[in-house]
A = this chain, B = another copy of it.
Amino acid sequence: MEEGRTMAQFGLVGSFTAQPGQRDALVALLLEAASLLETFPNCDLWFVSTAPDDPDAVWVTEVWRNQAAHAASLGDARVQEIIGRGRPLIAGFGTRITLEPIGGKGLS
């Protein structure tokens, strides 16, 4: 935790189930989202993972400066365009864990 930072970061760990055969397309789209988010200064971390035990699962791990920054991002037209392209690739939503990130290695 940096000095001068309030303890209000907002974290999410969530999973999607891709439509059969669409996992890699969903991963590619989410990596495109991550590239867009490089330009969002209030997005501290946003990475994509697959799972060793589920060939259809895709996970996103996110840390935002605060919950409002995350909510605002969902209203961004470029984010909405990516969400629109993602929807047909997604069969369902799985785990969703909300975190209050405090500090550590790699957390800006």
The B-contacting residues of A in range 59-81, CB under 8 angstroms, are 59-61, 63
Q: Which residues does chain B contribute within 8 Å of A97, judged by CB atoms?
A: 13, 51, 59, 95
Least distance between A2 CB and chain B CB atoms (Å): 13
Q: Does A3 contact B (CB under 8 A)?
A: no
**Number of identical monomers bound together in the oligomeric complex:** 2
Q: Does A29 contact B (CB under 8 A)?
A: no
- Alpha-carbon distance A105/B31, docked complex (angstroms): 9
Q: Which residues does chain B contribute within 8 Å of A95, judged by CB atoms?
A: 97
Q: Does A44 contact B (CB under 8 A)?
A: yes
Q: Is the CB of A105 within 8 A of B37?
A: yes
25 pairs, A vs B, C-beta closer than 8 Å: A1-B31, A11-B49, A13-B13, A13-B97, A27-B102, A30-B104, A31-B103, A34-B104, A43-B105, A45-B104, A45-B105, A45-B106, A46-B104, A46-B106, A47-B101, A47-B102, A48-B103, A49-B101, A50-B102, A51-B98, A51-B99, A59-B97, A60-B104, A106-B106, A106-B108
